[in-house]
Amino acid sequence: MRYFFFVFLVMAFVFVGACNCGDDDDDTGSLIDDDTADDDTVLDDDLIGDDDDDDDDTTPDDDTTPDDDTTPDDDTTPDDDTTPDDDTTPDDDTTPDDDTTPDDDTTPSITCYEDSDGDSYGNALVSQEVPGDTCPIGWVENDTDCDDNNEFIYQLLDGYTDADYDGYGDELELTPTEVCSGAELPDGYSANNLDCDDGSIFYNPDAPDFPDDTFDQDCSGADFVRSNDNGIFVEMPDDSSDATGSGDATGTMDDPFGSLADGITAAEIAGKVVFVASSYTYNENVTTSVSLYGGYGGAPEWTRDFETNPTDVYSENETPAIIIDNAAKNGEVVVQGFNIYGITIPPDSGLSSTYSRAINVVADSSGYIADCTIGAGTGTSNAYGASNLGDMMTLLRCTVYGGAIPPLNSYAVNAVTGTTILIDNTIYDSSATNGARAVNGGSNSTILAYNNNILADSDGSHTYGIISSGTLVAVANDIQAGDSCTNAVGVYLDGATATLLNNNIQGGDNCSAQDGLWITNDTTAVIINNIISGGPDSGTSTAVSVAQTDDVTLFNNDLYEADSLLWDGTTTYNDIADVNACTWTNCTAAGDNITDDPLLGGTGGNHLQTGSPCIDTGLEVLDYHTHYYVDHDTDGELRPVGLGWDIGLDEYVTE
């Protein structure tokens, strides 16, 4: 531009030198135009318009050439962002990305929740947004796991408190609570609220309602009361009666049968139970598929008190006095309030018998035996008190004993098959010769023993409080092997699967080879919170013997009063630190066992006294087994009291 302006000035000077210098461009032939208005139309010789020295146009540069930035700006609105768009998926939106709001592109993503326990249920508290439609390993799309640290617990279910673990929830809870659960509610909760006493395992809709005790055990709303409508009545008229007596009776309260056999036959036909009066001894052998209730005072009142109306049944031969056989029926036969005895062969009678048996549950049958005294007789080779050869036998609040003088095998409780449940019984065996076993469990048996007093007391050899070759769960029992010259063992596990919790266990007294626990022959055992003594006044005693490829877990037991705390088949361990170190053969896990005098005394001689080392030094064991007697002690006290669970059957309570 300046170049053209310079040329123009030079040309103007030339023309001025020859002009007439007027204000008006009145020359018509002059070559000089010196005014500022461009009014010539001809003489401007530059021929390209305005040749004056002022660029007098006033319009802005309206050219269409690019501005001087280095990249093309081809959108129609300003690009004002200052940071790059760093997302990794294409931005297909139609508006500029100003990076101040989330990218609104349409590529899919999902929310994923952490599943740290791998049960395919996620933790609502830990989540992330993931592009695509698949969560990475360890993450899931749902957020419903109520316990993401336990693969077996993953959902909320409605439940009612079941404090006594009998399977029925507290009827006082009117609405359920949501309980973090697995496939089913955990132990301690029930889907129903039908338990009329959630503090007792003997009250629930499935419990037998024992008649005429004023208590409504089955939660029906009333006690089960004897009547001609529900029962057949038996009362022996005189001591000469036997199974054939008063056969012409009708079995009513006013006209009872004279024998158990007649009463049972009539009751099976009528679909009733049998009420039996104490009178003379029933010398009978009966088989029943209906329930039998003893302890009645007889006609006409038929009041019941089986303490003052002992109802005795004696076997007359090798078979049991009472056989429970309900294989063809549903439900369970209850026998309550009797004294039941096997045959006794007098030493000088000249008679002989192979078996003496008091009561049996036979194949495919279930029996519930309560408030009975059951005794095997004597003078035979094999004496058994109560035997289970069926599906289920429950013994509740009974006194059961084996035979004596001189059986080869004497078992107070003989668990052969099925499940045998022992609660609150006194069970003892006092054979004078070999083979006294208070509780004998065969390889096909399951024994669940809670809060029993179990004593095998023999002057012979091989005396066992409990022996099991099957499955054994024992909780809060007092188990002792008394005098025996050899092998007096509290609990003998021979190829068993056993869980022993909070028992007091004591080996024999004043003989050789006496052990609290003898474990052998591929047994798997979990042993926690037990007081285990090798036995007092010992010659050779061991608290725990382990041998032959067993699998033993030993926590929080008090091992004491023994020449050796533990023997593993080759080595004797007398330092409790070595026991806890779990370096002995067949140790699966061990720890926190102690070896101090437990200071037992008080009621039954088995309660913890002030200052006992067993107070608060146990372990909570509800993960190993649940039952009323797991978190309640022998007195029904709820565990724990104080800072922790106690060792042994008693939970110490300050008086």
Q: Which of 627, 620, 499, 624 is nearest to 167 (CA)?
A: 627
Say whether residue 160 binds Ca ion (CB under 5 A). Answer: no
Q: Of the candidates 51, 143, 198, 633, which one interacts with Ca ion according to CB under 5 A?
A: 198
Residues with Cβ within 8 Å of 348's Cβ and at least 6 positions away in sequence, in order, are none
Which of these ranges, 190-198, 358-366, 526-534, 549-557, lies near Ca ion under the rule CB under 5 A? 190-198
Residue 143 sits in the site that holds Ca ion (CB under 5 A):
no
Among 143, 209, 457, 515, binds Ca ion (CB under 5 A): 209
Smallest distance from Ca ion to CB 634, Å? 19
Position among 25, 164, 509, 550 found at the interface with Ca ion (CB under 5 A): 164
Instruction: Find the shortest distance in angstroms from Cβ 650 to Ca ion.
Output: 23
Contact residue for Ca ion among 117, 364, 459, 563 (CB under 5 A): 117
Stretch that binds Ca ion, among 187-195, 402-410, 514-522, 608-616 (CB under 5 A): 187-195
Q: What are phi and psi of 549, to 5 degrees?
A: 50, 45
User: Segment contacting Ca ion (CB under 5 A): 212-220, 279-287, 302-310, 371-379?
Assistant: 212-220
- Is residue 631 a contact residue for Ca ion (CB under 5 A)? no
Site membership for Ca ion, residue 515 (CB under 5 A): no
Reference 460, options 384, 404, 542, 378; nearest CA is: 404
Residue 357 near residue 318, CB atoms below 8 Å: yes
Residue 195 or residue 558: which is nearer to Ca ion going by CB?
195
| 187 sits near Ca ion (criterion: CB under 5 A) | no
Q: Is 275 in the site for Ca ion (CB under 5 A)?
A: no
Contacts of 509 (CB under 8 A, 6+ apart): 481, 482, 483, 488, 535, 536, 537, 538
Strand duo 504-506 + 531-533: pairing:
parallel
Output the residue with the shortest Cβ distance to Ca ion: 195
Angle made by CA atoms 370, 373, 379, in degrees to the nearest 5: 140
- Report whether 450 contacts 477 (CB < 8 A): yes
Q: How far is the CB of 75 from Ca ion (least distance, A)?
A: 52
The nearer residue to Ca ion, 247 or 636, going by C-beta atoms, is 636
- My answer on whether omega of the bond before 613 falls inside 30° of 0, hence cis, is no
How many residues bind Ca ion (CB under 5 A)? The answer is 21
Q: Does 145 bind Ca ion (CB under 5 A)?
A: yes
Concatenated DSSP letters of 394-439: EEES-EEE---SS-SEEEEEEEEEEEEEEES-EEEE--SSS-EEEE
Pair 148, 117: CB distance under 8 Å: yes
CB distance 428 to 401 below 8 Å: yes
d(CA 461, CA 485): 6
Applying CB under 5 A, which part among 193-201, 392-400, 514-522, 534-542 lies near Ca ion?
Answer: 193-201
Specify the residue, 51 or 145, whose C-beta has the smaller distance to Ca ion.
145
Q: Residue 163 CB, nearest distance to Ca ion (Å)?
A: 6
CA–CA separation, 309 vs 79, rounded Å? Answer: 106
Going by their DSSP bridges, the two strands 531-533 and 322-324 should be labelled as unpaired
449 DSSP β-pair partners = 422, 474
Q: Is 483 among the residues that bind Ca ion (CB under 5 A)?
A: no
Does 213 contact Ca ion by CB under 5 A?
yes
Q: Does 154 bind Ca ion (CB under 5 A)?
A: yes
Kindly state whether residue 114 participates in binding Ca ion, applying the rule CB under 5 A.
Answer: no
Cβ proximity to Ca ion: between 182 and 613 the closer is 182
- Residue 629 touches Ca ion, criterion: CB under 5 A: no
Among 215, 486, 578, 604, binds Ca ion (CB under 5 A): 215
Does position 195 bind Ca ion by CB under 5 A? yes
168 or 567: CB nearest Ca ion: 168
Query: Smaller CB distance to Ca ion: residue 204 or 387?
Result: 204
Shortest distance (Å) from residue 398 CB to Ca ion: 18
118 token code pair: 């791998």
Of 44, 173, 223, 312, the one binding Ca ion (CB under 5 A) is 223
For Ca ion, give the closer residue by CB, 225 or 405: 225
CB of 193 to Ca ion, least distance (A): 9
Name the one range near Ca ion by CB under 5 A: 208-216, 371-379, 425-433, 491-499.
Answer: 208-216
Three-class HEC string of 181-250: ECCCCCCCEECCCCECCCCCCCCCCCCCCCCCCCCCCCCCCCCCCCCCCCEEEECCCCCCCCCCCCCCCC
Residue 490's CB is within 10 A of a number of other CB atoms, namely 33
- The correct pick among 139, 160, 210, 411 for binding Ca ion (CB under 5 A) is 210
- The residue within the footprint of Ca ion, chosen from 119, 143, 262, 284 (CB under 5 A), is 119
| Site for Ca ion contains 168 (CB under 5 A) | yes
Closest approach, Cβ 115 to Ca ion, in A, equals 8
Instruction: Sort 58 into a burial class: Cβ within 10 Å, 0-12 / 13-18 / 19+.
Output: exposed
428 binds Ca ion (CB under 5 A): no
Element (H, E) at 6: helix 2-16
| Rg of the chain over all Cα atoms, to the nearest angstrom | 48
Rounded-to-integer distance, Cα 116 and Cα 112, Å:
12
If the CB atoms of residues 216 and 578 are measured against Ca ion, the closer one turns out to be 216
Adjacent-strand bridge partners of 400: 374, 427
Q: With binding defined as CB under 5 A, does residue 550 bind Ca ion?
A: no
**Is 115 near Ca ion (CB under 5 A)?**
no
Residues that bind Ca ion (CB under 5 A): 117, 119, 145, 147, 150, 154, 162, 164, 166, 168, 195, 197-198, 203-204, 209-210, 213, 215, 217, 223
